[in-house]
Chains A and B, each alone.
Chain A
């Protein structure tokens, strides 16, 4: 902590939040909200005279609310930086602090939140984790029984800098407890709450038990566990040491804690798996090892950063094995528990690893980004054909990368375009294309995928970042789904042009899946919204046409939802299986003229006639290969 504050190239900004992240790798524009401390950082010398005279006391979050702080406060005496805060929510404006501060004049009640814009090349996200609230588990009585506390509360009670100066007392009578129990996996590995393992709690409870035992060898300490997980270097040896010290380990998950109302002593009811019987033991005090959970504001931060979340809410890394520190957004990296629960050594290692990943970019003066951007054919823009640009492309762009000046055709600012393809699909004049994802390329792919027995096929449009990843995960996890699926990847659901969907049905596709990221995960801020709006419109059109429900499906599938990808495809297959082949064929043929009508303009798109002609040759070749004469 102190090292960070002392390092001249680290600018520590506490009491500050990230409001907005715009831009792209090497060129992020970040808006920081420096919350008003009502204390001038350059004048405050950390003397604490303001806190001494402040008459207001409120619970201190840093002490897990076990001790008060003043309205003029630092969370702890070793705060870095040592600059006081005036908490205006608690303050009664007596201004005694101003008086106490005297000639320093460090207190400024007129201070307001400051929005500061910073140019940044790369970002490391290390937002950490939160703690599961065990009061929702009625069986453990946390919040009802004073002597059931969390391990984090114990940390403060056993800490020489804590509210009791390290004298561990039990809350009901302030006596020193002698018989204690820790319960592991409180909320974690529990299908009702957090199904996953919180990673560090085994070692954490052993550490606490050893510390207590060292402090007072007469203490009788028991750890209730489901499994003891000690896989890292030195961990198993530490577990051995704890057992040698006389710490008891009971293999069983307690089902109930009851309390003696007079003594406030507690009884743990549990199975002891080693003995194969139900046990009941009395304790003076019980510590619950809460599950690690994502930060309460992780969903919000996920939207600010435009990064996806894994099941459970942790940030989703680009690839679990090959790029574990990278977010899917180039230039944004994860470190520590925000990506999943981690202990201190792993978090430190990840901090270094993320720094190394970020420094590849930060030591370069230039960086390369993919050229899959949008490009305008100016002569096709309505500015040229009708004298006025319609501006739908400008509306569709999440980045302000499309500009229309006067009566000139729309223009794309290359450096601002992220390549979602929203403007391409929205342009009513087909005047914009996307490099590497042109209409001709996608049409040629569709012709190949629907060449043979199209009515049996489910054409699946997937966005690169989420649904394509979801399909990958379905495979990696070996979740089996129908082999009739045929996938086409575009960068974002915003690129999924209505013409592609009409064309798929014109070509006789049995089903079409339209899938992309969940709105909060979209890699292109609001790209998914554009895709979703269009998908809704299409769904209504197909319903009106009388298309069987389920032949067109819109689903938002994240890269973490392999199971969902497989399920959706299987459900679509069931829809097709439930239709008699003649009925399906009849429906396809019946709707074809309508599709053709809607595709009137499609052949006018540059490259499309060539792709159509090529498609005919290709389909012939594929059919010849599959059914040799």
Chain B
């Protein structure tokens, strides 16, 4: 796969939508089943279902099995923040043979039920729209490969206090060349200025 723009996707789309309860984090505010019913009516959605915990082994297994069973080529997970579980679901679809970039999340927890507990109706409408938005994006998603870069096997530690010294020693003892930079003329930081330190009550240096 090359990194070329390929805007128009002519393959037949088969989108699967998974609406997570997240226990009561989502389902305590909105009814995930209503989002599922809504998603079923969206273009190219061939399968939609709710799941108690999409991130749990059982939730991931469900998605993986469905990819096979319904021949899904796009997956939408309406659950939490991408900052929380995007890597989880990318890995899950990838294990089922789907390119990880063909999975899209809708954040219906942090950015919906958790923020709109005062307005359940509004939260439900928003959860539907966010799910539709993710479905819409998947319509134009293309397979992408991670970019592989070389690694310079050298570390830089900035700051020669107790944390920096600890990090430097651990890195160096693993065989990694480490530069330890300190702006003052001596390493040691605040720790070196202290008299004895708790709990051993011994010299800090």
Residues of B near A487 (CB, < 8 A) are: 107, 111, 130
The chain B residue sitting closest to A152, CB to CB, is: B193
Main secondary structure of the interface of A (DSSP, over half): mixed
**Contact of A26 with B171 in the complex, beta carbons under 8 Å:** no
Main secondary structure of the interface of B (DSSP, over half): mixed
A506 at the interface (CB under 8 A from B): no
Give the most central of A9, A18, A32: most B CB within 10 Å: A9
With contacts defined as CB atoms under 8 Å apart, how many contacts are there between chain A and chain B in the complex? 428
A545 at the interface (CB under 8 A from B): no
User: Which one, A73, A204, A338, A451, contacts B129 given CB within 8 A?
Assistant: A451
**Contact of A352 with B170 in the complex, beta carbons under 8 Å:** yes
Stretch at the interface among A169-177, A187-195, A247-255, A354-362: A354-362
Residues of B near A208 (CB, < 8 A) are: 195
A375 at the interface (CB under 8 A from B): yes
* Alpha-carbon distance between A134 and B24 when the two chains are bound, in angstroms: 47
**Contact of B3 with A475 in the complex, beta carbons under 8 Å:** no
What are 14 A-B contacts with C-beta separation under 8 Å? A3-B165, A4-B180, A8-B172, A10-B180, A118-B179, A155-B193, A158-B195, A203-B198, A319-B83, A336-B162, A366-B149, A435-B5, A447-B136, A449-B132
User: Which one, A211, A234, A614, contacts B199 given CB within 8 A?
Assistant: A234
User: Which one, B8, B128, B185, contacts A79 given CB within 8 A?
Assistant: B185
* Shortest distance from the beta carbon of B61 to any chain A beta carbon, whole Å: 22
The chain B residue sitting closest to A29, CB to CB, is: B152
* Shortest distance from the beta carbon of A462 to any chain B beta carbon, whole Å: 9
Residues of B near A111 (CB, < 8 A) are: none
* Shortest distance from the beta carbon of B193 to any chain A beta carbon, whole Å: 6
A600 at the interface (CB under 8 A from B): no
Residues of B near A625 (CB, < 8 A) are: 37-38, 41-42, 128
Tell me the residues in window 549-571 of chain A with beta carbons closer than 8 Å to chain B beta carbons: 566
**Contact of B151 with A476 in the complex, beta carbons under 8 Å:** no
Residues of B near A370 (CB, < 8 A) are: 146-147
* Alpha-carbon distance between A1 and B81 when the two chains are bound, in angstroms: 42
**Contact of B155 with A335 in the complex, beta carbons under 8 Å:** no
Tell me the residues in window 148-205 of chain B with beta carbons closer than 8 Å to chain A beta carbons: 148-199, 201, 205
Residues of A near B156 (CB, < 8 A) are: 18, 28, 30, 118, 120, 122-124
Tell me the residues in window 69-84 of chain A with beta carbons closer than 8 Å to chain B beta carbons: 73-76, 78-81, 83
* Alpha-carbon distance between A472 and B111 when the two chains are bound, in angstroms: 6
* Shortest distance from the beta carbon of A38 to any chain B beta carbon, whole Å: 12
A622 at the interface (CB under 8 A from B): yes
Stretch at the interface among A88-96, A100-108, A493-501, A604-612: A604-612
Residues of B near A58 (CB, < 8 A) are: none
**Contact of A80 with B111 in the complex, beta carbons under 8 Å:** no
**Which size class do B's interface residues fall under?**
35 or more
**Contact of A475 with B109 in the complex, beta carbons under 8 Å:** yes
A592 at the interface (CB under 8 A from B): no
Tell me the residues in window 15-58 of chain B with beta carbons closer than 8 Å to chain A beta carbons: 37-38, 41-43
CB 8 Å contact bits of A337-356 with B (1 = contact, 0 = none): 11000101001111110111
B70 at the interface (CB under 8 A from A): no
**Contact of A375 with B3 in the complex, beta carbons under 8 Å:** yes
Given A26-B150, A118-B179, A336-B164, does the pair A363, B174 have CB atoms closer than 8 Å? yes
**Contact of B192 with A76 in the complex, beta carbons under 8 Å:** yes
Residues of B near A335 (CB, < 8 A) are: 163-164, 166-167
Give the most central of A1, A25, A37, A606: most B CB within 10 Å: A1
**Contact of A444 with B145 in the complex, beta carbons under 8 Å:** no
A518 at the interface (CB under 8 A from B): no
* Alpha-carbon distance between A206 and B196 when the two chains are bound, in angstroms: 12
Residues of B near A238 (CB, < 8 A) are: 198-199
* Shortest distance from the beta carbon of B166 to any chain A beta carbon, whole Å: 3
The chain B residue sitting closest to A234, CB to CB, is: B199
**Contact of A368 with B164 in the complex, beta carbons under 8 Å:** no
The chain B residue sitting closest to A415, CB to CB, is: B149
* Alpha-carbon distance between A128 and B162 when the two chains are bound, in angstroms: 9
User: Which one, A156, A211, A342, A618, contacts B132 given CB within 8 A?
Assistant: A618
Given A74-B186, A234-B199, A483-B122, does the pair A124, B149 have CB atoms closer than 8 Å? no
B125 at the interface (CB under 8 A from A): yes
A114 at the interface (CB under 8 A from B): no
**Contact of B179 with A15 in the complex, beta carbons under 8 Å:** no
* Alpha-carbon distance between A152 and B204 when the two chains are bound, in angstroms: 14
Return the 3 tightest CB-CB contacts between A and B, nearest first.
Answer: A336-B163, A351-B166, A483-B122
List 12 additional A-B contacts (Cβ < 8 Å) besides A26-B149, A120-B155, A128-B163: A85-B185, A349-B166, A362-B174, A366-B150, A371-B101, A435-B142, A472-B83, A483-B115, A611-B140, A618-B42, A622-B132, A625-B42
* Alpha-carbon distance between A364 and B153 when the two chains are bound, in angstroms: 8
**Contact of A121 with B186 in the complex, beta carbons under 8 Å:** no
Residues of A near B158 (CB, < 8 A) are: 18, 123-127, 301
* Alpha-carbon distance between A73 and B176 when the two chains are bound, in angstroms: 32
Residues of B near A621 (CB, < 8 A) are: 41-43
B119 at the interface (CB under 8 A from A): yes
**Contact of B136 with A1 in the complex, beta carbons under 8 Å:** no
**Contact of B186 with A9 in the complex, beta carbons under 8 Å:** no
Given A121-B154, A448-B135, does the pair A481, B115 have CB atoms closer than 8 Å? yes
